[in-house]
Amino acid sequence: MSHSASSFPQRLSCQHKAAKAFHCSDKNQSILKMPDQAAYYLRQMYIYNFAIYQGSSKDPQGKDKVFAYVWLENKYQKGSNQVASAVYHRLTSTDLLSYHTVKLVADGFGGQNKNKILIDMFGKFLSQDAPSSVKEIKVIFPVVGHSIIPPDRIFGHIESEVKKHSTLLTDKDYINIIGFHATVIHLGKDCPVLEWKEAVSQVVKEP
């Protein structure tokens, strides 16, 4: 069943006190913004921003609830391994002692979020890392083009700030802007990038 962009957040906003919700999405931003047309002829490098919003969709979107996992394309690719590492870091960094259910709402990128590695990571988290109170993880994939989740609004705020600048030359320029709207976490520095295929093999048996 699909829901309209306006109705979907309302359907998720009634967060039970025993359930913790996380909303995930990502945005690619090309580094090097110049008022000169010459910029179009230069090699563009992307900074990846994987945002995780923690809480109900009706809660205020303060920096303490928004976590931006950032990295450059020349350091890591944008794939399921990076996404799983970011989500795992957020889960293990959150106090879940009073919750029995974790809800993860993620955009439906087949190669990044909706895949075996992410599900296997949840298996490891539940069996080895989660407090005993957590009994289940529910993963929700909204219909693309028919749903708006909190990170989409955050990306909109960031994009509005980017448009106010005629020149942005480095990744630090973009990260400074992102930092006004989210807690910035550098992938590979603040958040380890783990080899999930090897890690989950200790928990999940291949068919």
**Helices vs. strands in the chain: H and E counts, helices first:** 6, 6
At residue 2, the pLDDT reads 35
Stretch 113-142: mean pLDDT, rounded?
86
Residue 99 confidence (pLDDT) above 70:
yes
C-alpha dihedral over 158, 173, 91, 63, to 10 degrees? -50
Give 70 or 201, the one with higher predicted confidence.
70
At residue 87, the pLDDT reads 94
Residue 101 confidence (pLDDT) above 90:
yes
Cα–Cα distance measured from residue 50 to residue 60, given in angstroms and rounded to the nearest whole number: 19
Q: What is the pLDDT of residues 78-97, one digit of tens each?
A: 888 899 999 999 999 999 99
Q: What is the pLDDT of residues 1-24, one digit of tens each?
A: 333 444 444 444 444 457 777 777
Distances from the Cα of 206 to the Cαs of 50, 70, 126, 201, in angstroms?
29, 32, 18, 8
Stretch 135-149: mean pLDDT, rounded?
77
Share of the chain above pLDDT 70, in %: 69
